[in-house]
Amino acid sequence: MYVENQVHERRSAGSEAGSSLERLVAASDRERHHLVSRIDSYGDTMINLIQLPQLTVELDEIASRRPELRVDVQALGALIEEATRARGYLWISGD
Question: What span, in angstroms and rounded, lies between the C-alpha atoms of 45 and 39?
Answer: 6
Q: What are 9-58's pLDDT values in tens digits?
A: 999 999 999 999 999 999 999 999 999 999 998 999 999 999 999 999 99
Domain ranges of the chain: 2-92
Strand partners of residue 3: 11, 90
Geometric angle at alpha carbon 2, from 14 and 95, rounded to 5°: 80
The pLDDT of residue 95: 75
Give the predicted TM-score (pTM) of the model. 0.92
Q: What are 69-94's pLDDT values in tens digits?
A: 999 999 999 999 999 999 999 999 98
* Residues contacting 8, CB < 8 A, separation 6+: 88, 89
CA-wise closest residue to 33 among 84, 83, 89, 73: 73
